[in-house]
Amino acid sequence: MNDLQGKRLVLGLTGGIACYKAAELCRALVKEGAAVQVVMTEAAAQFITPVTMQALSGQPVYTSQWDGREANNMAHINLSREADAIVVAPCSADFIAKLALGRADELLSLMCLARPIGRVPLLLAPAMNREMWAHPATRRNLAQVAQDGATVLGVGSGDQACGETGDGRMLEAAELLEDITAFLQPKPLRGQRVVVTAGPTFEAMDPIRGITNHSSGKMGFAIARAAREAGAQVTLVAGPVHLSTPRGVQRVDVTSARQMLQATLAAVPEADVFVATAAVADWRPASEAGEKIKKDGSGQAPVLAFTENPDILQTVAQGERARSGALFCVGFAAESHDLLAHARAKRARKGIPLLAGNIGPLTFGQDDNQLLLVDEHGEQELPRAPKLQLARMLIAEIARRLPGNLPA
């Protein structure tokens, strides 16, 4: 399923070199299933042509409030009434100033002003030179438009088209897509704090080698993203994985199980939900050699002794906050067989309200998965789906089990 299936978006472009990124954004939005109506200011059309945007959106572009194509000649009313959101990307300093004043002397600003403010959200992706971004007038105008109900997305930092370096670049298309998608998701965890562990751990035996496992971290990262989309403040404690951090998520990188425990214990005292997806190594070498263990020529393999790692989930579940009901703990079980029996037993052993079981070899490294949820009332299957979609379903299941939320 596409993330924006059935959504109707107005994509507004104002004057700025970042218009070239709006072409890519438009394509990405359409690819995710959104119907995109492009509206461009006169200045935007200096940077990119309406023809390009028409080809990418598959719909004629609007550039003027006097467009005779609308039977009632009120494009500003018609387009804004039909939209699930208006996204202005790039949003220039001048356009922000216009919005702050409530001016409406061309189609895009007119549409923003005429939109039903309680029903059609306005998202702005600012793009400008760093001095313009830092100028007190822009700061003032941004605060004003935010107060008037617009959602101001972030800006990037780095080299600018003008040759200067600093804040004010428009976010990349992929980042905007993630932010827009997140904005349009339901918010059952608004104001909640969520901690997620993800990925494998790596237990060193010497400075070169160690033991680890095949966990890719994808499920945990998807859960962190879904929790953030649902409105939560998220801390993601990640073992060694090659994944980029979901936007808006605070990531703490760790290597070993003991480091993961420390980072988790530092984060959970404030948390409302803890989701343990990490494939923590159950054992670590009893001692870590200070130097690489070398072959001694005898043909004898070294004998390694192991010691058990702390159980992070169990430690947290036995803590005061979880036992008082203030922290809702969710565990994962990766099994190879007898999923239901093992999942039930594991939930009881860990002393947690909810456990998500899956078949390890069918999920490690894959982009999709299926889950069996086990709680005190019984079992429920979440059918095979991409991990992000499954993560959103799991987050919804967690949200409805939180104190204060009635069971559906």
Q: Which of 222, 254, 312, 373 binds ligand CTP (CB under 6 A)?
A: 312
Residue 15 makes contact with ligand CTP by CB under 6 A: no
Number of residues that bind ligand CTP (CB under 6 A): 16
Choices 144-152, 161-169, 273-281, 389-397 (CB under 6 A): range interacting with ligand CTP:
273-281
How many residues in the chain?
A: 408
Closest CA to 104 of 85, 76, 82: 76
Residue 331 makes contact with ligand CTP by CB under 6 A: yes
Q: Which of 95, 328, 332, 364 binds ligand CTP (CB under 6 A)?
A: 332
User: Please, which residues have CB within 8 angstroms of residue 149's CB and are 6 or more apart in sequence?
Assistant: 117, 121, 122
CB of 344 to ligand CTP, least distance (A): 13
Active-site annotation holder among 19, 26, 162, 329: 162
Rounded CA separation 361/44 (Å): 51
Nearer to ligand CTP, 99 or 260 (CB): 260
The question of whether 329 is a catalytic residue gets the answer no
Residue 374 makes contact with ligand CTP by CB under 6 A: no
Rounded CA separation 46/49 (Å): 7
Residue with tokens 């159950």, as numbered in its chain: 282
Nearer to ligand CTP, 30 or 275 (CB): 275
Nearer to ligand CTP, 82 or 308 (CB): 308
Residue 6 gets the label, from left (phi > 0), alpha (psi -120 to 50) or beta, of: left
CB of 312 to ligand CTP, least distance (A): 3
Assess contact for 83 and 10: CB atoms under 8 A.
yes
Q: Which of 278, 322, 373, 374 binds ligand CTP (CB under 6 A)?
A: 278
DSSP letter string, 305-332: PEEEPP-HHHHHHTSHHHHTTSSEEEEE
Residue 334 makes contact with ligand CTP by CB under 6 A: yes
User: Please, which residues have CB within 8 angstroms of residue 219's CB and are 6 or more apart in sequence?
Assistant: 198, 277, 332, 363, 369, 387, 390, 391
Assess contact for 11 and 36: CB atoms under 8 A.
yes
Choices 209-217, 329-337, 372-380, 393-401 (CB under 6 A): range interacting with ligand CTP:
329-337
Nearer to ligand CTP, 113 or 257 (CB): 257
CA 363 to chain CA centroid, nearest Å: 21
Choices 27-35, 73-81, 161-169, 304-312 (CB under 6 A): range interacting with ligand CTP:
304-312
Burial class of residue 196, CB neighbours in 10 A (0-12, 13-18, 19+): buried
Beta-bridge partners for 276: 197, 331
For residue 38, give the H/E element and its range. Answer: strand 35-40
The mark string for 171-210 relative to ligand CTP (x by CB under 6 A, - otherwise) is --------------------------x-------------
Q: Which of 107, 333, 343, 374 binds ligand CTP (CB under 6 A)?
A: 333
CB of 334 to ligand CTP, least distance (A): 5
Nearer to ligand CTP, 8 or 342 (CB): 342
- Residue 169 CB coordination number (10 Å): 24
230-269 binders of ligand CTP (CB under 6 A):
257
Residue 276 makes contact with ligand CTP by CB under 6 A: yes
Rounded CA separation 270/120 (Å): 34
Query: Which positions are catalytic?
Result: 162
Q: Given the rule CB under 6 A, which residues bind ligand CTP?
A: 197, 257, 276-278, 280, 282, 309, 311-313, 331-334, 346
